[in-house]
Structure 1
Amino acid sequence: MARPPGHGPAFEGRRQEIIDQAASLFAKKGYTATGIAELGEAVGLGKGALYHYIGSKEQLLVEIQDRVLQPLLQRARVIDALDAPSLVRLRLLSEALLEAILSRLDHIWVYEHDYRHLTGTNRKRLVRQRREFEWLLQGLLEEAMEEGALRRTDPRLAALQFLNLHNHTYQWAGTRGPAWTAAHLSEEYCRTFFGGLATDREALEKLDESVAEVRGVLTAD
């Protein structure tokens, strides 16, 4: 579909730059404390020109949330559909979540702190997408319990524990060592999490090898 006049590649590139700057400002000051005039000054645009690119301040928040959640949710769906043991898919989901966090720290800060300022259909859509990700995670945990890989416990509580282990990484990720990649952190987090729920320690020791095999298939796709 052809873009409307004035909305070509240059327009889109400039709009993406504005979203990046907004994420940086919102992460430092908060969404409500950052005014349109301040954002306009940061990107070198007057109020009218700025609105031409962004539509509204809330739309900026929508774009930041979408940059985080939409690729992550798409990746989670692919991982969930893999023909692989549940623990392998959980490990890959952990890695995908950490990759999203480490690649966009400003966006994650806004995602975690400011999503409540969304209104109406924007907020409903975001909540629905967040819940889908949580349901995918919970479903994989339930599979692992059904398979006997993890002991029986409340799957909702297990999902919240999994998320709590990962989601606050953004708070200190800027100080992490160079070896603390998403893959490394995922390995350590899952070793801790699975270790507390594992029913077969020997199978758990072989998990890294199984993950490496399936990751190759996932990358090829």
Structure 2
Amino acid sequence: MKAKITEHSIRLFEQKGFTETSIQDIVDSIGATKGTFYYYFSSKEQLLMDIHMDYITKLLEKQKAILSENASCKAKLHALVLMLLESIKTEKAKALIFFREIKNLSGEKLELILQKREAFRLGVEKLIREGIEIGEFAEHLDANLTSFAILGMVNWSYQWFNPEGRKSAAEVAELFMDIVLHGIEKA
């Protein structure tokens, strides 16, 4: 039942937004009572936290696997970009909630998610720093700022990326990598 509540909540949060979705809306969508909701979640914010935690935990696990591969920094960066786009493709509603609804977390819940998001960003920054050190990436780059730029570009795609559209996740990842590695200036 917890999974069913979460699944229906994700759909409602995607359609109506977190603040516009009531607990009554959630339980009505599954034919349950508020008591059932409160058996599994202490509050609507706790449910939102669970959705955030599930999404970022999976991203961190995938990032760890990619960063531990025996591959070039460019190949790892490409794999990370593709992984993020694929997560938007396969979990679009969760991605939307993760990026759009973080403003509805507070206190320790918000702090924990922000720490996990920062851990992910630091993984990207470390990869860029390593690429600079071994000569794969330009030595003048600011690894911190570059990590924000890459993640900003990729993460914002939850707003517009249509997995059923003209370009696949792999094609968008290739374009992003071309922009990151070569820019848009004509050679």
Q: Same fold (TM over 0.5)?
A: yes
Q: Any stretches of 5+ residues in structure 1 without a counterpart?
A: 1-13, 202-221
How far has the Cα of 1:175 moved from its partner? Answer: 6.7
Give the match's secondary structure for 1:107. Answer: helix
Give the letter for the 1:156 counterpart: N
How far has the Cα of 1:140 moved from its partner? Answer: 0.8
Give the letter for the 1:157 counterpart: L
2:182 equivalent in structure 1: 195
Report which stretch shifted further, 129-138 or 65-74.
65-74
1:140 aligns to 2:134 (yes or no): no
How far has the Cα of 1:39 moved from its partner? Answer: 1.2
The normalised TM-score by structure 1 is: 0.77
2:90 equivalent in structure 1: 103
How far has the Cα of 1:55 moved from its partner? Answer: 3.1
Q: What are the equivalent positions in structure 2 for 1:1-221 lying under 5 Å apart?
A: 14-151=1-138, 152-174=140-162, 176-177=164-165, 180-196=167-183
In 2: Cα distance, 1:125 partner to 1:164 partner: 20
CA contact (8 A) 2:89 2:163 kept: no
Give the letter for the 1:122 counterpart: K
In 2: Cα distance, 1:115 partner to 1:30 partner: 11
In 2: Cα distance, 1:162 partner to 1:97 partner: 11
Between the two proteins, the alignment pairs up a number of residues equal to 184
The normalised TM-score by structure 2 is: 0.90
In 2: Cα distance, 1:38 partner to 1:149 partner: 52
Percent identity of the aligned residues? 27
Give the letter for the 1:37 counterpart: Q
Q: Any stretches of 5+ residues in structure 2 without a counterpart?
A: none
Find the structure with the greater CA-based Rg.
Answer: 1
- In the TM superposition, structure 1's runs of 4+ consecutive aligned residues that sit over 3 Å from their partners are none
How far has the Cα of 1:88 moved from its partner? Answer: 0.9
In 2: Cα distance, 1:17 partner to 1:106 partner: 15
In 2: Cα distance, 1:175 partner to 1:92 partner: 17
Give the letter for the 1:86 counterpart: C
